[in-house]
Amino acid sequence: MPLYQFTALGRERSGTNSTITADSARDAREKLRAQGIFPESITEVKRSLVAGRFPWLKRRGRNGAQVASAVRDLATLMSTGIGLVECLETVAAQNTGRYGAALHALRERVAGGSSLSEAMEEQPQYYDDLIVQMVRVGENAGTLETVLDRVSDFKDRSLQFKDRITTALVYPAIVISLATVVSIFLMTVVLPMLLENLVASGRPLPWPTRVLKSMSDLMTQQGWWIGGLAMTTVVMIVAMSRTGPGKRLWHRLIFSLPLLGPLSKKQEIARSAVVISTLMENGIVFVEAIQTASQTAKNILLKEALISIRERVQSGGDIGEAMAAASIFPPLVVQIFLVGQQTGELERMLNRLASGYESQVSSATARLTAALEPILIVFLAIVVGFILFATILPILEAGNVL
């Protein structure tokens, strides 16, 4: 159902902007008049053009921090005894842009008789399967405020996970980009001017200068072809990574990297452990919890492993044996699931596993960032130093001859 934004005149909403869902603008006007509200203008809130034209970008537009903050605010307001519709209206008033419009639509759907989980299910670009299922459990159990608090905590932990890896990669990316730009500038602009007179003198050039001159000539003469080939290669890699086999190969490569691979695997396993433990603490059985964890997993290898475990357990198999057969989980994780199943404390042990992996990822990321800084600085100094040495060396030799 379309969402309409209106500027209303009335005793309660004089001169304010709000939204309403209706079949048409005329239907929206009639609904407002029935409520004693007289709208000055009614305009339909358009869907995102980017998401409409490119559906594969839809889920990537999710603002996790904004969603986590809104869910936490909603839980706080509900804990004071305010009704759900009024809470949604207050939270929606604090947000602007597309997510603000989405919250207004959420409020209108709930006011129209839908449950919060049903309304969230209609906005998968903001609320994934985990949120929808947990909210549905909270509605059925009458513990919606508690569930919303846990959802916001989970979102915050997920964002912290992502920020740790991003922080570890930002600095190397900046340094490598600067080194590339500086090298290209020196090789294509500065170096040809400096070597022009040395080449014209007819004196033999030292081998570092000859190597550098060959690279400079290649970049100045074939630079556009090299750049086009590099761009084409990047586009092809990105396109292949979106296919099933390409995505599987890419995720396998990530897990096999020397330093980032173990961090990425621990991050993904910890995230799935949090999902499973959170759902089981809210009354979801293990089979359904691991199904939701597989749907929210980012790495396709882990997703396939969780699906395989679910099928084995559903057919009567043991959790530990099913995880060992998946061959992607470390022995520690397999043992925790096995002992947790035997003792009936799987939720608590998964929370401890996730906390331990979070701490390990945080410490390893900090050490990796600290080690990369001096290494990259030395690398940049070697690249620029070689270019300067190869340029100055023939000048010094010419001065000695004179």
Do 59-127 and 143-402 fold alike per CATH? yes
**Tens-place pLDDT, residues 22-56:** 667 777 777 777 777 777 777 766 544 334 433 43
Local structure of 96: helix, strand or coil:
coil
Domain map of the chain by residue range? 1-46, 59-127, 143-402
pLDDT of 164 reads 67
What is the predicted pLDDT for the residue at 400?
Answer: 57
How large is the angle between the packed helices 319-326 and 300-314, nearest 10 degrees?
150
How far apart CA 300 and CA 60 sit, in angstroms, is 16
Dihedral (Cα; 201, 204, 209, 211), 10-degree rounding: 120
pLDDT at residue 51 in the model: 41
What is the per-residue pLDDT for 161?
66
Q: How far apart are CA 145 and CA 143, in angstroms?
A: 6
Please give the pLDDT value at position 384. Answer: 77
> Given this model, what pLDDT does residue 57 score?
39
Low-confidence ranges of the chain (pLDDT < 50): 11-17, 47-62, 401-402
pLDDT given for residue 112 in this prediction? 81
Distance CA 14, CA 4 (A): 17
Residue 43 phi/psi, 5° resolution? -130, 140
Topology at the third CATH level for domain 143-402: Receptor-associated Protein (1.20.81)
User: What is the structure's pLDDT at 393?
Assistant: 78
The fold adopted by the segment(s) 59-127 is: Receptor-associated Protein (1.20.81)
pLDDT at 13: 43
